[in-house]
Amino acid sequence: MSGYLFSAASVLRGEITVDAHAAQRRAAAPGVSAWVSASAGTGKTKVLTDRLLGLMLEGSDPARILCLTFTRAAAAEMANRLNERLADWATLPHDAFVEELRALAGREPDEARLAQARQLFARVLDIPGGVKIATVHAFCQALLRRFPLEADVSPQFAVLDERGAREALLEAAESVIVAAREEKDGGGLAEAVAVVAGHVAEERFGMLMAALAGERGKLRRAVEGGYAALRNRLCAALSLSVETTLEDLAAAFCAAGAGDEAGLRAAAAALVGGSVTDQRRGEVLAAWCAAPEQRRHEMLEAYAGVYLTDEGEVRKTLITRGAAASAGCDASAVLVAEAERVKRFREAHAGAVLVEATCALARLGEALIEAYDERKRTQGALDYEDLVTKALGLLRHRRGAGHQPGPMGNCRGTRRRVLCRRECRRPDPYDLRRRRREAVDLQFPARRSARLPVHAAAFRDADRRRRTGVACGAAGDLLPLDRAGLAGDRRDLSARGGA
């Protein structure tokens, strides 16, 4: 479905030519993969409700429809709207009922469709608990309760709320600091804590620990090959030698003869006879040329300030014309060449600092997550992130040499439809797109090479303004990423012969 973005001014001018109702009908069609993106109050929940009703009118068993959202309030709102619509259908006069179905489907309903729609409310009431409309975490928790052994969790696991998770994380962070202080075997934890402490203020340390715990999956993947492999990848990405250290970079830059020493002395003499700014720069340059190598290490920041702006770019004017004319050499060319050398050094130094800090942060994060997981194990508890990752492991589970589907592969409870109300703007909160496709693969194991039913199409909606990121985190802009992901969904379904 194509997205339509309208401004308030265009609405007042009457410039909108697209039939909004027709667009909503296209999004609600069961066989269409649709992404609906709009602001609050523009009808996204109505479209999703229409989508549910359309699925049931097309013959889907209400007990086999799953609708996911990120908040309990949104789940309750969806359930209430669905039940209200179905209750109205059971009692509407014939003419009004026909008009309702015509507006929903865009075509004239026949008698069979009318009779089927009248019975839907009773069918939904007969389902234990009603249509499955739940939050992501509630759905994952239900899966783990049903298959605890297959998911490798305690059958009586408790779910940590946000406060409980923060307290457990704080205890884990304290234990990591204590372990670093008492470290005697040179494991690297104490050094990692010292490096991180040099970059993070004390009051922000707790926020950093929470961020590490929230990205535990990425962190574990980053260090699964070892810290040496992580360092190698970082150095390759930043075009640094693996053996590069901060000390080596500074020593090479400050070494006598590393730059044009004679040209720099002549330029310094010319600068001293120029403007006030020239004179200040000339004094720093003269002191640099006269200083021994060890003293130059202490002058690095002041020396770099002669050539570079606060943003790290080469200054447009390094010497005034009058001062340059009095020099015994091409002072401007000498200073430009030295400025480029300084810039290269600063960039390489920043890259080396980044590598060192990242490796230290990864080591600290791994220790934190191990301590955090240990506390959860002793309590028999899972946090919200655990619910999702454990449920994903359950959906991906394979057994035997023939790679047969795991326990969810033969689950026939929800084989028709997964709808997702997505209000979080985090770029990839739980990778629901890939997980949904994997779930479809598992739930249709015999149909991967055959035509999938139209009920295997995708639907997601996102609120442009609301950010309900308390449980799942909020950062970045997911809309371009997920439009591309939806295109991937379509290609996957088309490759299997689906809608």
Residue 441 confidence (pLDDT): 39
Residue 85 lies in a domain: yes
> CA-CA distance, 381 to 272, in Å (whole number)?
70
Residue 397 confidence (pLDDT): 67
Residue 73 confidence (pLDDT): 87
Place of tokens 């075997």: 185
Among 352, 376, 400, which residue terminates a domain?
376
Q: How confident is the model at residue 410 (pLDDT cuts 50, 70, 90)?
A: very low
Q: Is the pLDDT assigned to residue 373 strictly greater than 60?
A: yes
**What percent of the chain is predicted at pLDDT more than 70?**
75
For the stretch 313-343, pLDDT in tens is: 999 989 888 888 877 678 889 999 999 999 9
> CA-CA distance, 223 to 237, in Å (whole number)?
16
Residue 294 confidence (pLDDT): 86
pTM here is 0.63
> CA-CA distance, 412 to 489, in Å (whole number)?
22
**274 and 168: one domain?**
yes
Residue 414 confidence (pLDDT): 41
Among 329, 356, 376, which residue terminates a domain?
376
* Burial letters 382-415, b for 16+ CB under 10 A, else e: bbbbbbbbbbbebbebeeeeeeebbbbbebeebb
Residue 352 lies in a domain: yes
Residue 144 confidence (pLDDT): 93
Q: Mean pLDDT over residues 217-227, rounded? A: 87
CA torsion 348-350-351-353 (nearest 10°) is 120
Report CA torsion sign: 96, 98, 101, 103: negative
**205 and 334: one domain?**
yes
**169 and 266: one domain?**
yes
If one counts every other C-beta atom within 10 angstroms of the C-beta of residue 39, the result is 11
Residue 2 lies in a domain: no
Q: Is the pLDDT assigned to residue 474 strictly greater than 60?
A: no
User: Count of domains in the chain?
Assistant: 2
Among 376, 395, 410, which residue terminates a domain?
376
Residue 413 confidence (pLDDT): 43
For the stretch 415-453, pLDDT in tens is: 444 455 554 444 444 454 444 444 433 333 333 333 334
Residue 186 confidence (pLDDT): 66
For the stretch 73-119, pLDDT in tens is: 888 888 898 888 889 888 889 888 888 888 887 788 888 888 888 88
**17 and 60: one domain?**
yes
For the stretch 244-286, pLDDT in tens is: 888 989 999 999 888 888 889 888 888 888 889 989 999 999 9
**168 and 144: one domain?**
no
For the stretch 350-364, pLDDT in tens is: 999 999 999 999 999
Note down the domain range covering 275: 158-376
Residue 65 confidence (pLDDT): 85
Residue 3 lies in a domain: no
Assess contact for 227 and 362: CB atoms under 8 A.
yes
**191 and 315: one domain?**
yes
Parallel, antiparallel, or unpaired for β 417-422 and 158-159? Answer: unpaired
For the stretch 142-189, pLDDT in tens is: 999 999 988 889 889 999 988 988 889 889 988 998 988 888 766 788
10 Å CB burial of residue 425 (0-12, 13-18, 19+) is buried
Q: Is the pLDDT assigned to residue 346 strictly greater than 90?
A: yes
Residue 270 lies in a domain: yes
First to last CA, the chain: 13
**138 and 286: one domain?**
no
Q: Is the pLDDT assigned to residue 233 strictly greater than 60?
A: yes
Q: How confident is the model at residue 460 (pLDDT cuts 50, 70, 90)?
A: low
Q: Mean pLDDT over residues 184-212, rounded? A: 84
If one counts every other C-beta atom within 10 angstroms of the C-beta of residue 449, the result is 7
Looking up residue 60, the CATH number of its domain turns out to be: 3.40.50.300
Residue 26 confidence (pLDDT): 79
Q: How confident is the model at residue 124 (pLDDT cuts 50, 70, 90)?
A: confident
Residue 317 lies in a domain: yes
Average pLDDT value for the chain: 76
**151 and 207: one domain?**
no
Report CA torsion sign: 13, 17, 22, 24: negative
Q: How confident is the model at residue 457 (pLDDT cuts 50, 70, 90)?
A: low
**354 and 224: one domain?**
yes
Residue 205 lies in a domain: yes
**198 and 108: one domain?**
no
Residue 401 confidence (pLDDT): 37
Residue 138 lies in a domain: yes
The most confident of 25-34, 207-216, 283-292, 463-472, by mean pLDDT? 283-292
Residues 6+ apart with CB under 8 A from 124: 62, 82, 83, 86, 130, 131
Q: Is the pLDDT assigned to residue 475 strictly greater than 70?
A: no
**268 and 198: one domain?**
yes
**116 and 190: one domain?**
no
